[in-house]
Structure 1
């Protein structure tokens, strides 16, 4: 009975994942091929390949989206935010899991509690704080908000990786004369590199696609990110029925995350596997 139960659960989970993957693949396929079509053929030939590559859609999206400025804003904000998140979260995770710190467990639960608070509840107090510091509608202000709200999840993720590292390596480093900082930077960080890369990828993808916080904390057009720019592109082109340019803008936005995932996919998979083993 137990074997049949586990078999049914495995079949059900694989079926759900297969249906989900096919649905996402079809949406991506439709978005990509539609970005090369004309507005006359996009709905007449819904799933067929375009007879001719229409690159004018990308030109329209680029000019209407102000892609250069918004790309720079997104790249700057996301890279600085992810760097700060890792710099803060990695030592905190190491200290909470490997060092004998008083109240380490309550502090860990404190971080976990931060994951359970919807960030929508924090929008008003965060906005008041950032406004009092004159950081609303600034890229540094958005970086601070992204970093602060991403630390709890990253600490939770990295604690699993540091716990999976054998303690014998740490003991050997102490025997060789390493102090806490040397052990962390020379032993623990190289061993936890797959986990750190995994956390960086998760944060990069999440912050690259983030919309709500960017909408609240960037009130003007100068400091908009790509997610806000894509919505403004949709708002400006929906009444002209230029759907192909909207699809082209969507393709331009998803290209960076796709490239990063392809390059670092092996690190991501190895990191997830490492974090699951304790």
Structure 2
């Protein structure tokens, strides 16, 4: 069946803006990737062209001379600890709010949802003095705790929606078989909420990996810098040393893990957001 002119124009009206937006997003990333293989002279001489030779010296300089290796390790620690701690705190809380009805449960859920609307910047100064009093200032584990707490409202909100889709009859059957409430939580609820857990874990991990401002405030020693702070340092140095190729290389090091992670779990994230959108 031939398509009508209106249908063709309608499809083109949707696809053309999407194609243009895709090009606008991908081109700077491609330009940065190609620039990471160029020397400084080549970047100035031919900034928009292909590199004459693919030189990995910029990556070696970023990794060794600018201590990117340590910053990558720090970011991994902060991201993993923050993501795991968020789940450890959020899963039982979401289960209690959704399944264990107690006085104030609705108010507690509303409080968590309301906390999502409060800008995190309002808590930076109190958190600075709190971490200083606890001796956790300039400590990557202290930063990981702050990250975990900052993402608790969002994580609880999403997981509560997932738990609400699980039939209560499964919990009742498990309880009849002798499972304790903790057993029901970890052996029944948690496995059935895998899509939601993966979704919030990936989204939180990307947030922790890319976060800059709290790391800038709570970390002071260069050996504790996360990747975002290290790149900021290289950026400031590049203005005086012309280390633009090294800066591009460090940016590639920062974004490639995020792209790979999202590419692997893209369908699971979309599935998770769809499944948790409406409570059963």
Do both share a fold (TM > 0.5)?
yes
The SS at the match of 1:41 is helix
Hey, what does 2:58 align to over in structure 1? 57
**Aligned residue number for residue 158 of structure 1:** 159
Q: What number of residue pairs does the alignment pair up? A: 271
2:21 and 2:93 map into 1 onto residues whose CA distance is: 36
Query: What is residue 5 of structure 1 aligned with on the other side?
Result: none
Q: Return the alpha-carbon distance in structure 2 between the equivalents of residues 168 and 19 of structure 1.
A: 50
Deviations 1:154-213 (A, max 9, x none): 111211111122333223323333232121111111110111011110110000000000
Kindly report which structure 2 residues correspond to 1:76-155, keeping only aligned pairs within 5 A, or say none: 76-155=77-156
In the alignment, is the contact (CA less than 8 A) between 1:65 and 1:249 conserved in 2?
no
- Partner residue in 1 for 2:267: 266
TM-score, normalised to structure 1, is: 0.89
Can you give the 5+ residue segments of structure 2 that lack an aligned partner in the other structure?
Answer: 1-9
Shift of 1:44: 4.5
Give secondary structure in 2 for the equivalent of 1:222: helix
Per the TM alignment, residue 143 of structure 1 is displaced from its structure 2 partner at its CA by: 1.7
SS of residue in 2 equivalent to 1:33: helix
Change (3 A) 1:14 1:103: farther
How many angstroms apart in 2 are the aligned matches of 1:207 and 1:65? 21
Residues 55 and 116 (structure 1 numbering): CA distance in 2 closer, same or farther, change over 3 Å?
same
Q: CA deviation at 1:43?
A: 5.0
Of stretches 20-29 and 105-114 in structure 1, the one that deviates more from structure 2 is 20-29
RMSD of aligned C-alpha atoms?
2.3
- The residue aligned with 1:220 is 221
The answer to which of 172-181 and 223-232 deviates more is 172-181
Q: 2:7 is matched with which residue?
A: none
Quick check: 1:78–1:207 contact (8 Å CA) kept in 2?
yes
Query: 2:237 touches 2:243 (CA, 8 Å); kept in 1?
Result: no
Contact 1:65–1:230 at 8 Å: present in 2 too?
A: no
